[in-house]
Each structure stands twice: as C-alpha cells, then as structure tokens.
C-alpha cells in the first residue's frame, strides 16, 4: 500500500473554456469488518486520482473493461457519489463539496442517461409524467404548457407525441432509451453523462440512438461524457477518449490518436482485441493477448497498476507509479515506457 499520493503530480493542461474540469478525483468505498463496531478494514479504490476536462459541444469517451471504475467516475463527477478526494469544477465553480440540495439548481445543466432503459423508468408513471419530471423538480413552467413542451420533446427524439399517456412497458428497448434521452434534454442541459447508453440495444437500434445523440449534440451544443465498454461505438462518437484501467486513466488523447497511434501497452491490447467487422482485415491482424485477471482494486499492484499483465513491464514499473503526462501534443499517457504502435 505504498506510493499512492506521489502520483498526484499528473497534469492535464487546463483548457480555458472547460465546462467541466476534474482534478485528481478519487472515489473509495470503505470495507467494514464484521462484528458490532463495523471497523473499517480497507478501501475499494474504485477511482484513483483521475483528471480530465470537457468543453462545450465535445464528447469525451471513457472506455475500459468491467471494474475499471468508469461508471463510478461518471457518477462521481455528476456528484451522485461524493468524491473521496480531488476537485470538480463546473463552469469554473468548485462543486466538489456542494450538498445534495445545493446541487439541485445545477442539475439543470448536467444530466445523465443510463444503460438500462428498463430499470431507469418508473413503470407506474406515464411517459408524459416521466419526461416532465425535471420541470416539476426544478419548478420550471414552460410557456406553452408542460404537455405541449413534452410532446415537442417526444417528437424531437423520434417518439410519437400521441403516446404521451402510455406506460414504459408499452415501448421497446430502443424507444425506452429515447424516453430517457427526452427526459435528459428537457431542461436543455449543457452536459450529459451517458453511461453505456446503447449497450442493451440491438445493433440496428443502437445505430438509431447513436445518430440521435449526435443530432442532439449538434442542435444544442451538448457536451457528452460517453461511458462504454464497446470501443467501436466510443470511437465513433467521441472527440477525445480516456482509457481507464483499475481506477486510473492510462491514456487520454484525441479519438483518432487512441486508435491510430496508441502509446500505452494497455490501449494496445484493448484496441487489438476488438474484432473488426471485416474478415480480410481480421485474418491478417496482430492481436495482443493479455494474460491473467484484473487485480483487486482493494489491494492494487504497487507502482503501475497494469504491470502485472503488461508485456513490457520492468523493475521500475513495480516501484514507481507512472504519472499521466503529455507525451505528444494533447496526448497523455501514464506509462514509463510508452511506444507508438499501429494496430488497426
């Protein structure tokens, strides 16, 4: 359990127009022992000092495999979870320690879309009341009345406005995701955190929803944090991508660079593992196989967390945590031995 805080020197250049800025944010979940006292015996280090920012109209993709902390990161920057450490700024204002109540007005500006369109909609509420809930919570009275506004929103996301009084179970998975999207854009937010928004959908429906998200972004100049495990989808929609592993950002760069010239060995393995829908390309492709399993986030490896599975690991990797640093203009990596490779 050494060498945790030394890494806090990593620097991601500050962009003046940042909408959301996240600095060294940590999220630990305490583990308590049995018995009466519930003594704390350790922490699950779900997110370990991550830094990034998002500018208006931009999509930041966050990719990584299960257990890498990407969903926790999304919930923490939304302040649905309280960060253990670090700083979160929204439009230049420090929101790290705002209470739930103080956050309410800010919810107009930042919204969330969830993976499971089945469990994120109340089955006993009509679509109309689900989509209009943000108006009620925020005390907003649309000039033309709530129903007209909601029906406009429904039309905008490709739902039939006449279905205003129907219940979620009368809609298919793709349509339910559209309901979730209509609710998220109701108050014209500036930022939407999308947590695996298309993972539960069939391919043809997935493409419809991705296109809708892109259209809404152009129309309202929305910023997205797009969290997903599917690298092809993330690459398609994102301007920049953060690759996470065991709670840390391993690499952060423009989408093109993450796929065409990744520098981090984990990104190499990840991008090479994605099968392309192109049989001829597949036959000649080099695949970097990782061995072993993801280490426990309770007791992560010393030094670089990826070293136990890294084909390039050396002694230094066990001793020193690699800092996320700028390796090429706008291209950040946390590796002692970065190397550009072309794998697609």
Task: Give residues in contact with other proteins (CB under 8 A).
Answer: 65-66, 172, 174, 202-208, 210-211, 214, 229, 231-233, 235-237, 255-256, 259, 269-282, 287, 289-290, 292-294, 344
CB of 164 to other proteins, least distance (A): 19
Please list, in sequence order, all residues whose beta carbon lies within 8 angstroms of the beta carbon of residue 104, skipping any fewer than 6 positions away.
137, 138
Taking the least distance from each CB to other proteins, the nearer of 49 and 238 is 238
Interaxial angle between packed helices 203-220 and 173-185, expressed in degrees from 0 to 180 and rounded to the nearest 10: 10
Least separation, in Å, of the C-beta of 71 and other proteins?
A: 14
Nearest distance, CB of residue 311 and other proteins, angstroms = 12
- Given 3-state DSSP classes, what are the helix, strand and coil percentages for the chain, each rounded to the nearest 5? 35, 20, 45
Complex with other proteins: residue 22 or 231, whichever CB lies closer: 231
Please identify, using beta-carbon distances, which residue of 106 and 200 lies nearer to other proteins: 200
Q: CB of residue 204 vs other proteins: minimum separation in angstroms?
A: 4
Cβ(72)–Cβ(225) under 8 Å? no
Rounded to a whole number of angstroms, the minimum distance from the CB of residue 201 to other proteins is 9
b vs e for 311-320, b when ≥16 Cβ sit within 10 Å of the residue's Cβ?
eebeeebeee
Cα–Cα dist 212/230, whole Å: 18
110 vs 263, which CB is nearer to other proteins? 263
Burial of 277 (0-12, 13-18, 19+ CB in 10 A): exposed
The answer to whether 303 touches 321, Cβ cutoff 8 Å, is: yes
Closer residue to other proteins (CB): 90 or 266: 266
**222 versus 241: smaller Cβ distance to other proteins:** 241
Using CA atoms in the order 142, 146, 152, 154, what is the torsion angle rounded to 10 degrees?
130
CB nearer other proteins, residue 139 or residue 279 = 279
Those residues whose C-beta lies under 8 Å from the C-beta of residue 106, and which sit 6 or more positions away, are 79, 90, 95, 98
- Nearest approach in angstroms of CB 280 to other proteins is 5
Give me the helix-helix angle, 127-138 and 173-185, nearest 10°: 20
Of 194, 322, 335, 329, nearest to 256 (Cα)?
329
Rounded to a whole number of angstroms, the minimum distance from the CB of residue 270 to other proteins is 6
> In terms of CB distance, is 87 or 260 closer to other proteins?
260
- The separation between the first and the last C-alpha atoms of the chain, rounded to the nearest angstrom, is 37
Residue with the two structure tokens 């919570």: 137
Nearest distance from C-beta of residue 177 to other proteins, angstroms? 13
Q: Tokens 């704390």 label which residue?
A: 40
Beta carbons of 141 and 111 less than 8 angstroms apart: no
Residue 24 or 272: which CB sits closer to other proteins? 272
CB of 197 to other proteins, least distance (A): 13
């Amino acid at each position: 359990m050494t060498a945790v805080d030394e890494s806090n020197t990593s620097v991601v250049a500050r962009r003046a127009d940042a909408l959301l800025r996240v600095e060294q944010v940590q999220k630990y979940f305490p583990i308590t022992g049995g018995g009466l006292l519930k003594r704390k015996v350790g922490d699950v280090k779900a997110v370990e000092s991550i830094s990034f920012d998002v500018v208006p109209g931009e999509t930041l993709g966050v990719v990584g495999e299960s257990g890498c902390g990407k969903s926790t990161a999304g919930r923490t920057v939304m302040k649905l979870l309280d960060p253990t450490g670090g700083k979160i700024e929204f439009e230049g204002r420090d929101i790290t320690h705002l209470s739930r109540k103080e956050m309410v007005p800010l919810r107009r500006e930042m919204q969330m879309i969830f993976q499971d369109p089945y469990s994120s909609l109340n089955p006993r509420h009509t679509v109309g009341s689900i989509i209009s809930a943000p108006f009620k919570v925020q005390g907003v009275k649309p000039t033309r009345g709530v129903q007209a506004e909601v029906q406009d929103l429904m039309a905008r996301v490709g739902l039939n406005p006449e279905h205003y009084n129907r219940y979620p179970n009368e809609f298919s998975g793709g349509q339910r995701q559209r309901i979730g999207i209509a609710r998220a854009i109701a108050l014209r937010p500036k930022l939407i955190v999308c947590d695996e928004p298309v993972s539960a959908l069939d391919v043809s429906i997935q493409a419809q929803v991705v296109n809708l998200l892109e259209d809404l972004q152009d129309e309202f100049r929305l910023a997205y944090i797009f969290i997903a495990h599917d690298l092809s989808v993330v690459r398609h929609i994102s301007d920049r991508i953060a690759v996470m592993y065991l709670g840390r950002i391993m690499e952060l760069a423009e989408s093109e660079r993450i796929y065409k010239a990744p520098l981090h060995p984990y990104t190499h393995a990840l991008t090479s593992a994605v099968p392309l829908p192109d049989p001829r390309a597949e036959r000649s492709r080099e695949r970097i196989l990782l061995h072993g399993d993801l280490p426990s986030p309770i007791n992560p490896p010393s030094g670089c967390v990826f070293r136990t599975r890294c084909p390039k690991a050396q002694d230094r990797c066990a001793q020193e945590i690699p800092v996320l640093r700028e390796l090429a203009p706008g291209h950040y990596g946390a590796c002692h031995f970065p190397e550009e490779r072309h794998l697609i």
